[in-house]
Amino acid sequence: MKSLAFGVTVLVVAFSACGSAGSDASSEKEGTSMNGTKYEKATFAGGCFWCMEPPFEKLDGVIDVVPGYTGGRTEDPTYEEVSSGTTGHLEAAQITYDPSKISYRKLVDVFWTQIDPTDQGGQFVDRGPQYETAIFYHNDEQKAIAEESKAALDRSKRYDKPVVTRIRPLTAFYEAEDYHKDFYKKSPVRYKSYKFFSGREPFLEKIWGADREAGRAEAEQVYKKPSPEEIRQKLTPVQYNVTQQCGTEPPFQNDYWNNKREGIYVDVVSGEPLFSSKEKFDSGTGWPSFYRPIDKDNIVERTDSSHGMVRTEVRSANGDSHLGHLFDDGPEPTGLRYCINSASLRFIPKEDLDSEGYSEYKILFDD
């Protein structure tokens, strides 16, 4: 992005990357709340931060994407200082997102499709420690998700070299100069030329190919709720009572409370993926318990004041099925317990994921 010695003038212009310093950098902004929703932040370093804004800004649930610097020693660094490679900072993008609309796990998935995670010395034509890749986690839950995702990507053997992207705690994040923000909108020709001739776009197309578009389609897949008539025909009386009438099945007398097979649990109504056996634990309650969902986008939390108590109800996002309740007495790394009715779930063994149409989740079980 910064120092490209090409003989063709138009390429040199396209590659003179992020230019010279502009406005002063600023410190990390706090999360904001709107309509009762607490926004969260995610921070990724993927080489040139010009290329980190577009893939995230177009995602539903992303509020803002800001380029900046993080991970180093220098306070309020300028672009020139970071570019020298002496500050310890990496070029990064900080994303503010609505967790009720998009999950951190999905943001991590998008991040992997934008970088070469096997490159220790920079990214594509941009060399130096300031262009290394990293996931900067904001809390322990993000750390656990990032580590699990990195391990799964490594096991997938998509690359012929090991994944070396570091997972680091976020300290301070300093916003980049204004002229770097939304560069792909301000200078679209220069941006597209840089992304292609730097080697990033050809590499991503080679590694991900059709999977890159398929992954986007999967991320946008909508699991629909059947008609009331179809639901009545499809469900048993117990399943109907639980999912449609907010009933509760008896503990220790249900299908999955003691199920120890590997696989995923989907909404019995819509089929949307909800939980994995990898995050299932024995809570001693007699109901299936998980410390986090597969994808938070498929979960909706609502306040439940029934039976003289105030609890957090858990429902499926697309099927609108009552699943159970959420408690804060679970194990690490989340401290949460999703207490779920078996009657709300259908279990897909890992060996049946292909035949059932859930191939993308096989990666969860690659040891």
Instruction: Give the catalytic positions in this structure.
Output: 48, 339
Give the three-state DSSP class for 367.
coil
With tokens 């097979």, the residue in question is 261
Containing 166, the helix (H) or strand (E) segment is strand 166-169
CA–CA separation, 41 vs 30, rounded Å? 9
| 123 touches 200 (CB < 8 A) | yes
CA–CA separation, 235 vs 200, rounded Å? 49
Q: In the sheet where 299-304 sits, what is the strand order? A: 280-281, 289-290, 337-340, 322-327, 311-316, 299-304
The full DSSP string for 180-234 is: GTTHHHHSHHHHHHHHHHTTHHHHHHHHHHHHHHHHHHHHT--PPPPPHHHHHHH
CA–CA separation, 186 vs 130, rounded Å? 24
Tokens (6 digits) for 221? 């897949």
CA–CA separation, 14 vs 47, rounded Å? 17
CA–CA separation, 82 vs 328, rounded Å? 41
Q: Which residues pair with 70 in a beta bridge?
A: 90, 173
**108, 115, 275 from 158: Cα distances, Å:** 16, 13, 25
- 182's CB contacts (< 8 A; 6+ apart) are 53
- 86's CB contacts (< 8 A; 6+ apart) are none
The full DSSP string for 19-63 is: -S--SPP-PPPPP-EETTEE-EEEEEEESSGGGGHHHHHTSTTEE
